[in-house]
Structure 1
Amino acid sequence: MRYAQIVMGPAGSGKSTYCAFMQRHAEDMKRSINVVNLDPAAEHFDYQPIVDIRDLIQLDDAMEDEELQYGPNGGLVFCLEFLIQNQDWLRTQLSGGSDDETDCDPDDDYILFDMPGQIELFTHLTMGKELVNLLESWNFRLCTVFLVDSQFMIDGPKFLSGTMAALSVMANLEMPHVNVLSKMDLLSKSARSQLDKYLDPDPKALLGDITEESSWGRKHQKLSQAIGALIEDFSLVRFVPLNVEDEESVQDLLMQIDNVIQYGEDADVKIRDFDPPEENDDDDYE
């Protein structure tokens, strides 16, 4: 069995940083986690990817093509479509450059797929779902990980926006899913004091900020209340905090994701053989 995380989130939510710190944490644990870059617009990241979509196609290729003439958003969509159409290239790269998929060691094959920051790819377009289905057909056990910057989740309107984005991704991809509040280390003391408010949120209370403080909220009060009730009554969205400077925080999150994808449960139980105790030949103890 092969394991993978599909790392998603809005631009600037810390996806590449998440992948880099997860990889370093795994190295400290004597564990192997590799990263695949599937963002054709990436310019810099703090990890060495085993596969890089930019070796197949770059965003500039789509934007500078005289026939296509895409903008940044359309170019990203085209690049992901091009990847799906050239899936044999991706499978070969994941297999270490061999056309034989069995060349991969399934016991050590744990991969983070660092995705573009265009969440339309996962909220309503088909490319995200097609990629998930493709990886599942290659014997990957997957978990989708959706990052939201914690600095933008501490008031009612922002909470509603982030929660609905996460819910849209969950509904579209239909996969085991973990929502992460990233950049907890960047929160101010006053913001951290509100930690419980948005880690285990009361949607109705948070959405009260919308209905009381804006004309739109007052006009659509019943709609906001209905959304809050939907989130609360069905426990659809919960967030896990992540502070990349705290090893315990990284470990707790990795453990949750490992449980979701059942990482290691297929491994053989390791036992240690002990030598039998030596017999006592001393006749003085008869």
Structure 2
Amino acid sequence: MIGSIYAVGAAGTGKSTFSASLKEWMISQGFDVAVANLDPGAEYLPYDADFDIRDLISLSEVMSEYSLGPNGAQVVAADLMLENFQTMLKPLEEFEDYYVIFDTPGQIELFAFRQASPQLVDAISGSRATIAFISDAILASSPSGFVSQKLLYGAVISRFFKPSINVMNKSDLISDTEMDTIKEWEEDTDKLLEAYMNEKQKAEKSYFAGIIRAFSEISVAGKVIPVSSRDLLGFEDVYSSMSMSFTGGEDTDTSMKDD
């Protein structure tokens, strides 16, 4: 594959909708794109998956075989996917000349914090992988929500050691004023700390001051890219960040292949 992007984030941030919209936007720009579902427990997908892990692992069969409820079966199914990733490689070979978007499990811990996940990404994508951390603009509009998502992003990128982008989904659901405030917090950690302490007046200031200032010192989250999956806004910036990882910023023509 030309390059791959793994949509990773907490439940409810809109990873699947983001994956569907990114594919739609890239196809509109003339690129060959596939989307792969890596969530064995997904009940509904807003796209037609070009690769679907559910064809290989059935959650209902896992529940039956291991005598588990839905939550326990999700964990076992995720581990089975990671432990038997060799079975995934063959069907993915047909996307050699494609960009591939991987839609990861809804519960972030089922992918980001399983032992075998980094090896899975390496086996499938090698050096042509980018981690797209999907955050929620509504949650980010409060200081504590902004900080908590930054910390989660830092935890995710520390697991994979791959190029990464911080995508703030649902940007159409907050006001321009709220968006300006988020951008201000991104650029000025002193203002973020002030806003955080105003919200959490009983918090230990020195402790959180160190955490918040570390964001800028170690570039924990880089530039946040606001997107609207509903309105297809911001995806040009997402693609630009992807292409910097894959091709040094140059577009790759994927539209002139023989059928």
For normalisation by structure 2, the TM-score amounts to 0.86
Q: What pairs up with 1:112-131 in 2 under 5 angstroms?
A: 112-131=101-120
Q: Note if contact 1:121-1:128 (Cα within 8 Å) is conserved in structure 2.
A: no
For residues 41 and 53 of structure 1, the distance between their equivalents in structure 2, rounded to whole angstroms, comes to: 9
- Aligned in 2, Cα 1:264/1:71: closer, same or farther, shift over 3 Å? same
| Partner of residue 85, structure 1 | 83
The alignment partner of 2:234 has SS state of helix
What's the C-alpha RMSD, in Å, of the aligned pairs? Answer: 2.5
Paired residue type of 1:37: N
Determine the C-alpha separation between the residues in 1 that align with 2:82 and 2:171.
34
Shift in alpha-carbon separation, 1:123–1:216, aligned structure 2, 3 A: farther
Task: Note closer, same or farther for the CA distance 1:160–1:147 as it changes in structure 2 (3 Å cut).
Answer: same
* 2:221 matches 1:233: no
Q: Which structure 2 segments of 5+ residues have no match?
A: 254-259
Q: CA deviation at 1:163?
A: 0.3
Residue 215 of structure 1 and its aligned partner are, at CA, apart by: 5.4
Q: Deviations over 1:29-61 (max 9, x none)?
A: 221110000111212222111111111123333
Shift of 1:263: 6.9
Q: Confirm or deny that 1:174 pairs with 2:174.
A: no
The number of residue pairs the alignment matches comes to 252
Distance 2:110 2:43 in 1: 20
Compared CA separation, residues 265 and 190, structure 1 to 2 (3 A): closer
Q: Among 182, 185, 188, which residue is 1:202 paired with?
A: 188
Aligned residue in 1 for 2:208: 224
Instruction: Say whether residues 1:134 and 2:123 are aligned partners.
Output: yes
| Corresponding residue to 1:153 among 140, 143, 146 | 140
**Higher RCO (C-alpha 8 Å, min separation 6):** 2
Share of identical aligned residues, percent?
A: 27
Report whether the alignment pairs 1:244 with 2:242: no
Cα deviation, residue 225, structure 1? 0.6
SS at match of 1:194: helix
Equivalences for residues 266-285 of structure 1 within 5 A: none
The SS at the match of 1:112 is: strand
Deviation at 1:140, TM superposition (A): 5.9
Distance 1:185 1:141 in 2: 30
Matched, 1:261 2:246: yes
Change (3 A) 1:36 1:204: same
- Does residue 110 in structure 1 map to residue 95 in structure 2? no
In 2, Cα distance between equivalents of 1:182 and 1:253: 11
